[in-house]
Amino acid sequence: MEIYFLGTNAGVPTLQRNVTSIALRLMEERRSFWMFDCGEGTQHQVLRSPLRLGKLEKLFITHLHGDHLFGLPGLLSSRGYQGGTAPLTVYGPPGLKAFLDVSLSVSQSRMPYKLEIVEHTGGLVFEDETFKVEAGLLEHRIDSYGYRVTEKDSPGSLNTELLQSYGLKPGPLYGKLKKGEDVTTESGVVIRASEVVHEPKKGRIVTILGDTRPCPGSLPLAQEADLIIHEATFAHDLAEMAYQYHHSTAVQAAELAREAEGRELLLTHFSSRYVSQEELTPLLEEAQAIFPQTLLAEEFCTFPVYRRK
């Protein structure tokens, strides 16, 4: 599980950074990746990345401002030309379907895959046997949502050395043990699953928050997350401006991560006034003074999501 940034700028693209888009790479877990937001030019960013749109499985939109949305029609249209034939589901706030219906129909875009559009107003938006995704309303000029992606715990591995000492070879009984069932060997030895199965692997939690100023809705989404991705549009000397524009400072993002007892914080969605990564250093230092496990997002960079021991 890895995070890969395709765009980290706020509002409009610059020569240094594109507008918002984040990929959650799940190649080991699902042989696919998910995308969060799709600002204008995202498909160009994908071409410069190791990502392949044919592997895009799900796309989540936080809110309907253009810097998070305007790249979506082009990306959906291009996906078919890049080998994308598997179904794709797009999730987002009410109004998303109308936007896509009009843009895709007027342009007569034809896609060789099933496209499903799911509008939501928060709550559980997706769940299967390995993952669930919950959404919560934040505080922005329009409805903006954060997403909490929870990887479910996976069964622990078998102690194969111990099993071989019992004379048990790989086969159907291995599967029963991994499911927690006790088994009996041909020689009559009872093997208890609790003695030969390691502890379950704890699932990871990734929280990706859309545009927001500090609000109560952020905390439940971020609680004890392994990785929190939070906007940091301004340094804290512009806190009043951030509030007026319904955005957050790096300090406010760090305060949330600390209160939520998260493990790591990634700052993104930077104002164009901070041109280079060096000019973002004060934002990083402000945040690290409150929450030391803070990093700056950087486009075309991979950030692993580490599993708790």
DSSP string, 97-152: HHHHHHHHHHTT---SS-EEEEE-SSEEEEE-SSEEEEEEE--SSS--EEEEEEEP
Q: How many CB atoms lie within 10 A of CB 198?
A: 10
Structure tokens at 72: 């979506």
Task: Tell me the pTM.
Answer: 0.90
Whether 132 shows a pLDDT value over 90: the answer reads yes
Mean of all residue pLDDT scores within the chain? 94
- Taking Cα atoms as reference points, which of 265, 283, 263, 204 lies closest to residue 229? 265
Name the residue with higher pLDDT: 158 or 1.
1
Q: State how far the Cα of 25 lies from the Cα of 4, in Å rounded to an integer.
A: 7
For residue 251, give the amino acid letter.
Answer: V
Whether 46 shows a pLDDT value over 80: the answer reads yes
- Taking Cα atoms as reference points, which of 190, 219, 189, 224 lies closest to residue 206? 224
Q: What are the binding residues for Zn(2+)? A: 63, 65, 67-68, 140, 211, 269
Q: Are 226 and 203 in contact (CB under 8 A)?
A: no
Structure tokens at 224: 């004890």
Write the DSSP assignment of the chain as a string of letters: -EEEEEE-BSSS--SS--B-EEEEEEHHHHSEEEEE---TTHHHHHHTSS--GGGEEEEE-S---HHHHTTHHHHHHHHGGGT--S-EEEEESTTHHHHHHHHHHHTT---SS-EEEEE-SSEEEEE-SSEEEEEEE--SSS--EEEEEEEPPBPPPB-HHHHHHTTPPSSHHHHHHHTT--EE-TTS-EE-HHHHBPPPBPPPEEEE--S--S-TTHHHHHTT-SEEEEE--B-GGGHHHHHHTT--BHHHHHHHHHHHT-S-EEEE-B-TT--STGGGHHHHHHHHHH-SSEEE--TT-EEE-PPP-
Q: Where in the chain is the domain with CATH 3.60.15.10?
A: 2-153+201-304
Q: State how far the Cα of 255 lies from the Cα of 261, in Å rounded to an integer.
A: 10
pLDDT digits (tens, 9 = 90+) for 266-276: 999 999 999 99
The CATH number given to 2-153+201-304 is 3.60.15.10
Going by pLDDT thresholds of 50, 70 and 90, the confidence category of residue 172 is confident
Whether 237 shows a pLDDT value over 70: the answer reads yes
Query: Mean pLDDT over residues 163-191, rounded?
Result: 82
Q: Are 198 and 180 in contact (CB under 8 A)?
A: no
Query: Mean pLDDT over residues 13-42, rounded?
Result: 97
pLDDT digits (tens, 9 = 90+) for 55-106: 999 999 999 999 999 999 999 999 988 888 999 999 999 999 999 999 999 9
Structure-token match 């998303």, residue found? 96
In this prediction, residue 309 carries a pLDDT of 67
Active-site residue numbers? 67
- Taking Cα atoms as reference points, which of 267, 252, 277, 266 lies closest to residue 305? 266
Q: For Cα atoms 213, 68, 99, give the angle at the middle one, nearest 5 degrees.
A: 120
Inter-CA distances, 100 with 12, 87, 97, Å: 21, 16, 5
Q: State how far the Cα of 300 lies from the Cα of 304, in Å rounded to an integer.
A: 13
